[in-house]
Amino acid sequence: MLAHGMLTMGAAVQVAVNWVGDAGKVIDYGVRFTKPVFVDANAGALLTVVGKVGAIDLEAKTVRIDLTAVSNELAVLGKAQAVVQL
């Protein structure tokens, strides 16, 4: 089975939401789907998401968070970036 790309996208942005503390502060978010996430019927799937600050706009009080999402040692999202309001 495959996990739908939007599920992967939603799981990945949660890293940014947890960091900023409020889903309403995510003002922009985009990804490219690069690989599917395969889900084993018994074991499920493991998705590892890491976020790092990619840019800070002091004037606008925003931060761009660059996200990487990996499953089965493959990057499953590309150019995953969330912009959050501080």
DSSP-assigned letters across all residues of 14-27: HHHHHHHS-GGGEE
Which tens digit of pLDDT belongs to each residue from 16-75?
A: 999 999 999 999 999 999 999 999 999 999 999 999 999 999 999 999 999 999 999 999
If we measure between CA atoms, which residue out of 81, 84, 29 comes closest to residue 61?
84
- Strand, coil or helix: what is 5? helix
Instruction: Look at the domain 2-85 and name its fold.
Output: Thiol Ester Dehydrase; Chain A (3.10.129)
Residues 23 and 10: beta-carbon distance below 8 Å: no
Give residue 14's identity as a one-letter amino acid code: Q
Structure tokens at 29: 């978010």
